[in-house]
Structure 1
Amino acid sequence: MTETDVIILGAGAAGLFAAGQAGQRGLRVALLEKTDAPGKKILISGGGRCNFTNLGAGPGNYLSANPHFAKSALARYSPADFIALVDKHGIAWHEKTLGQLFCDGSAKQIVAMLRDECPADRVSLTCDVEISQVERGDDGSFTVTAADGRIWRAPALVIATGGPSIPKMGASDFAYRLARQFGLKVVEPRPALVPLTLGDEDALFRELSGVAAPVLARAGAGKRKTEFAEAALFTHKGLSGPAILQISSYWRHGEEVGITFLPDAASDWLIATKRDRPRTHLRTLLRERLPDRVADALADRLGLEREIGNASDKELRAAQVQLADWRFAPNGTEGLAKAEVTAGGIATAELSSRTMEAAKVPGLYAIGEAVDVTGWLGGYNFQWAWASGFACAEALAAASFR
């Protein structure tokens, strides 16, 4: 049996970072990973360059049953803090759009940095650990038993195994099963940042597979209602691209999605064009602003084939309205296999926002994607991993078992 101060389950972004922070504070950490290597999701993120944070990351960029939960951790470990760490390790980076930061080189540099941040004499990383049992003793200590018989025991246990998105990378619902074992509630998990699928009524748009266009996309109802102005990509199954992935976190089955195809157009742009260019066709106007295939598909659906000067203002206004709020009725998503993250998770009502510790189970912590805090596309989920891992490590260092 290995006796240690802290057992961290999961060597992804949150687990690796928390292990390093805890080890630097003098704690002995057993970091256990199910797969054969740490940081596998990090390696495939950002097209292999890791979108490791976002300059604008703040509480408003996260979806949770408690929108205030992330405030404390995000305030105490900011994007600037992680950038300083990246700079300390000499990793070159660049900003793309909307505050997204990527490595100039490879995501491997971030994984190497996180491993280097783990003191060798304090943090023990063990991979290929298939956990068969987790127990809490009468003394409050946690015992983790592997399928091969290896055993670890510590007064603190951190759940950092993420959610079940991208199961081919070893992801599972282990975090939720473990949380329920200890009596913690779980907000229903679902795919997030995921492509949406369309039914037969939108079949025409499947012919646009591979074509992207800048749009304003809307989804959600009530407090979930939101919109994103980015690119939408048509696929053979439905809709994808940054704008769609973003709103997928807010969409629910049975709801519609609204797309504005010309987000920069004035409200009465067709009426004004009718006065200035009466002999122009709608198809031509759309081709001036959108990819040809998208313009043709929209023109076919709208059915205004004559010169716009021969169309009534009522017809043109109807076309303007539809182009400003084209309604799609997704019949689902491409599921956890294609979801970048999982929304939902261990209920924030069960955890301290300051320490990430479970109120009902002293010594039990949960961080990263395992928790019901889901960020937007663009580095926000990594920033939550760093911030929640930092908050947890600080709490562990101050814990009474020391």
Structure 2
Amino acid sequence: MVALARPKMKWGIAIETVDVAILGAGAAGLMAAIHTGRRGRRTLVLDHAERAGKKILISGGGRSNFTNVHATPLNFLSQNPHFAKSALARFTPADMVALVERHKIPYHEKTLGQLFCDRSAHDLLNLLLKECAEAQVAIQTGTSMQSITHDGAHFHLATSGGAIRAKSLIVATGGLSIPKMGATPLGYQIAEQFGHRIVQTRPGLVPLTFLPKDLADWSDLSGLSTEVVAHTRPAKKQRVPNPVFREKMLITHRGLSGPAVLQISSYWMPGEPLAFDLAPGRSVVTELARRDQGALLQAVRGVLPGRLAERWVALNTPDSWTNASLTALEAQFHAWTVTPSGTEGYAKAEVTVGGVDTAQLDSTTMQSKLVAGLYFVGEVVDVTGWLGGYNFQWAWASGVSAGESA
């Protein structure tokens, strides 16, 4: 048994025996609770935070990008790319939209299939809490875990709110991203306690930092952005190349951010270079009216913001203006290569890549193959979505799968 850190005691109402205990009152945990409660299962949701759904409330700039209409298994990163198929088919974006519409929550599509609440993420959280109440789910916040044991029939939870016995345990504790919102490694500790492997975790959907040379060359252009196509270098023996992302790149005072960079960061491995096409689908320098720096600058200004164009030309003006030099310069413009020094870490990451190994979970129910009655859902699992509502859709879908089984 792994002994968990004993926090300051916060005594609440102890519930001695329940059918299902759920650790984590976030998106996946609340959705799982709704479905266990609807099945008449006596359900208790526990969370160490003082209120349910804290990360839901800050998501999407406070308006919650609650799904993406284009979500498919191809939009997720996992050691087993097929694992998410069953859950995503069981509860689709259309199902989530129907739930939102049933609660008369106004929403809109922003870009690329991203659906946001018109008013506030509070609407989404209130939807979940109302559904939980209707399913007679009990939610106990401000409750910290101290230890968990299993006797073959029940899980025994020692908490700061008392001792709890449950037939099933759903772990929906999230990942390591945004520690200021209370992220902890609890879910991984529980998984390892019961014999589960953890795929190495790292920050995902996270800004990248410059090496010192690139920092000197580019950091004073902080705030400038441009549309790019971001690429990674395929790993050795990689049969399917990583996706590419055509979105905005933003220069920061420490490195690179913006949607394209956040997306590609989930696939980037330390020490590897990234390539950015700075003019997707356009020829920039091979047909200059004149072959000199002035003409080059004018051409580059046609596709990049002024100061960024000036800096790029200053750093990349060729020694000669031959056809071969211009061809090489054109190729360089479409494959600006940056090797990041690292990332901004979990503090700025939107998600955690890696997690509980899916090889030891049932993809249709999210139940452990090692311990009957133990389930893992949401971000704690080795399934990571793209930016734009995909991770919420995984939370809903995996929560439903577990909730209809536990």
Q: Aligning the two structures, in what range does the TM-score lie when normalised by the shorter sequence?
A: over 0.9
Aligned to 2:128: 114
Aligned to 2:169: 157
- 2:285 aligned counterpart, secondary structure: helix
With 223-232 and 366-375 compared, the bigger mean Cα shift is at 223-232
Please point out which of 203, 210, 223 is paired with 2:223: 210
Please state how far the C-alpha of 1:226 moved relative to its aligned partner: 2.7
1:348 aligns with 2:349: no
Aligned to 2:397: 387
**Match for 2:140: what amino acid?**
T
Aligned to 1:241: 258
**Match for 2:296: what amino acid?**
L
**In percent, how many aligned pairs have the same letter?**
48
Q: Distance in 1 between matches of 2:122 and 2:301?
A: 42
Contact 1:134 1:144 in 2 (8 A): yes
Please point out which of 322, 327, 350 is paired with 2:332: 322
Aligned to 1:59: 73
- 1:118 aligned counterpart, secondary structure: helix
Aligned to 2:185: 173
1:225 aligns with 2:235: no
- 2:40 aligned counterpart, secondary structure: coil
Deviations 1:283-336 (A, max 9, x none): 11111221111111111111259xxxx922122112101101011010110000
**Match for 2:277: what amino acid?**
T
Please state how far the C-alpha of 1:165 moved relative to its aligned partner: 0.5
Please state how far the C-alpha of 1:158 moved relative to its aligned partner: 0.2
Please state how far the C-alpha of 1:122 moved relative to its aligned partner: 2.3
Q: Distance in 2 between matches of 1:69 and 1:182?
A: 21
Aligned to 2:157: 144
Please state how far the C-alpha of 1:280 moved relative to its aligned partner: 5.5
Please state how far the C-alpha of 1:58 moved relative to its aligned partner: 0.5
Are the structure 2 counterparts of residues 120 and 84 from structure 1 closer, same or farther at C-alpha, using a change threshold of 3 Å? Answer: closer
1:272 aligns with 2:287: yes
Contact 1:24 1:119 in 2 (8 A): no
Deviations 1:122-167 (A, max 9, x none): 21000011100111014x200111135x011111000000101100
Please point out which of 185, 189, 193 is paired with 2:205: 193
Are the structure 2 counterparts of residues 121 and 73 from structure 1 closer, same or farther at C-alpha, using a change threshold of 3 Å? Answer: closer
**Match for 2:87: what amino acid?**
A
- 1:187 aligned counterpart, secondary structure: strand
**Match for 1:167: what amino acid?**
P
Contact 1:282 1:304 in 2 (8 A): no
Aligned to 1:335: 345
Please state how far the C-alpha of 1:208 moved relative to its aligned partner: 1.1
Aligned to 1:400: none
Aligned to 2:267: 250
Q: Distance in 2 between matches of 1:295 and 1:167?
A: 38
Q: Which runs of 5+ in 1 are unaligned?
A: 397-402
Are the structure 2 counterparts of residues 353 and 279 from structure 1 closer, same or farther at C-alpha, using a change threshold of 3 Å? Answer: closer
Aligned to 2:27: 13
Superposition pairs of residues 283-294 of structure 1, within 5 angstroms: 283-294=297-308
- 2:165 aligned counterpart, secondary structure: strand
Please state how far the C-alpha of 1:220 moved relative to its aligned partner: 4.5
With 327-336 and 18-27 compared, the bigger mean Cα shift is at 18-27
Give me the TM-score of the superposition, normalised by structure 1: 0.93
Q: Distance in 2 between matches of 1:109 and 1:274?
A: 56
Aligned to 2:40: 26
**Match for 2:361: what amino acid?**
L
Contact 1:23 1:119 in 2 (8 A): no
Contact 2:146 2:160 in 1 (8 A): yes
**Match for 2:231: what amino acid?**
R
Contact 1:224 1:250 in 2 (8 A): no
Contact 1:220 1:226 in 2 (8 A): no
Contact 1:199 1:330 in 2 (8 A): yes
Q: Distance in 2 between matches of 1:24 and 1:315?
A: 68
**Match for 1:327: what amino acid?**
T
Please state how far the C-alpha of 1:224 moved relative to its aligned partner: 5.5
Aligned to 2:113: 99
Q: Distance in 2 between matches of 1:278 and 1:265?
A: 20
Contact 1:219 1:248 in 2 (8 A): no
**Match for 1:186: what amino acid?**
I
- 2:287 aligned counterpart, secondary structure: helix
- 2:175 aligned counterpart, secondary structure: coil
Superposition pairs of residues 61-76 of structure 1, within 5 angstroms: 61-76=75-90
Q: State how many pairs are aligned.
A: 387
- 2:300 aligned counterpart, secondary structure: helix
Contact 1:344 1:372 in 2 (8 A): yes
Superposition pairs of residues 35-54 of structure 1, within 5 angstroms: 35-54=49-68
Please state how far the C-alpha of 1:119 moved relative to its aligned partner: 3.2
Q: Distance in 2 between matches of 1:294 and 1:241?
A: 16
Please state how far the C-alpha of 1:274 moved relative to its aligned partner: 3.5
Q: Distance in 2 between matches of 1:135 and 1:110?
A: 34
Contact 2:175 2:380 in 1 (8 A): yes
- 2:246 aligned counterpart, secondary structure: strand
Deviations 1:190-239 (A, max 9, x none): 10000011111212111111111100111252346331000000011101
Please state how far the C-alpha of 1:345 moved relative to its aligned partner: 0.3
Give me the TM-score of the superposition, normalised by structure 2: 0.92
Q: Distance in 2 between matches of 1:240 and 1:362?
A: 42
Q: Which runs of 5+ in 2 are unaligned?
A: 1-14
